[in-house]
Amino acid sequence: MAIKSQTPFTDFLSTLYESAPWSVEAWSRPFECCPLVTTRLAGAGNTSTVGSNSSAQSSIFCVRCGTTRGVLSHWLRSETNRDMAAWARVLVQGCHTAIITQREFSFRCLYQGRPCQLIVHLDRGFTLLDSSLVGSGAPITKALWSFPFDKLKGSADDGNKLLFLDFAGGLEDGSGGAEIELDMECCPKPVVFVLHNCLSAKVHSLA
């Protein structure tokens, strides 16, 4: 299957088609669809396809999507370097626009066995809310901890369900250290990709 730069990136979704859609029905049936907030440009360059008597260069770039099934990677081919650069620019700008428009992202998780919600906010950073009282009809108001983006030292995941966040400074409960483990109850890649896109959008806004 060859995928070229016919792939459209809407304001909030990236959609992939096996071939250029020529009808309204075909446009509505992509074989892959991912939110732009969990989509990232992973690399770009050239590849050589060696024929019988000559070699040809193709411009390619990789789009990766963080999903609850793991990371989906798609290599796309463009006809020229200029086309590749245009697609890369549109993809990065689209991801940043989606992040800036939505700004806040909520993920269900477990923290120390307690049901919680991890809130990632473009401006306020990370907040963990206790959601153990949701069943009683009480509003989610108790924040277990909160850190701005500039306190984030690093992040990692096990590719299965665990997300690790390392923040500078200790927790408010005086426990010291801020190496936090969250059970996302599914593959944590959507959180990781949102986190990276938030950081990328913040850095880009300073340029």
User: φ, ψ for residue 116 (rounded to 5)?
Assistant: -140, 175
Domain boundaries in the chain? Answer: 9-102, 104-206
Residue type for position 148: P
CA distance 39 to 36: 5
Q: Is the pLDDT of residue 14 over 50?
A: yes
pTM for this model (two decimals): 0.80
Is the torsion defined by CA of 14, 152, 118, 148 positive or negative? negative
CATH match for 9-102 among 1.10.3470, 2.30.29, 2.60.120, 1.20.1630: 2.30.29
Q: Which of 9-13, 82-86, 185-189 has the highest mean pLDDT?
A: 185-189
Q: Is the pLDDT of residue 51 over 70?
A: no
User: Which residues does 75 contact at the CB level (< 8 Å), separation at least 6?
Assistant: 3, 60, 61, 62
Whole-number percent of the chain with pLDDT over 90:
49
Mean pLDDT of the chain: 82
Name the one residue in this structure whose structure tokens are 């690399």: 43
- The pLDDT of residue 70 is 94
Is residue 195 within 8 A of residue 155, CB to CB? The reply is yes
Collapsing DSSP states into helix, strand and coil, what is residue 193? Answer: helix
C-alpha distances in Å from residue 43, one per residue of 18, 94, 97: 21, 16, 20
The string of pLDDT tens digits covering residues 132-156 is 766 555 555 689 999 999 999 999 9
The string of pLDDT tens digits covering residues 66-95 is 999 999 998 888 888 888 888 888 889 989
State the average pLDDT over residues 101-118.
95
What Rg, from alpha-carbon coordinates, does the chain have? 20
Domain 9-102 shares a fold with domain 104-206: yes
Fold of 104-206: PH-domain like (2.30.29)
For residue 50, what pLDDT band results from cuts at 50, 70 and 90?
A: very low
Strand duo 125-130 + 143-147: pairing:
antiparallel
For residue 1, what pLDDT band results from cuts at 50, 70 and 90?
A: very low
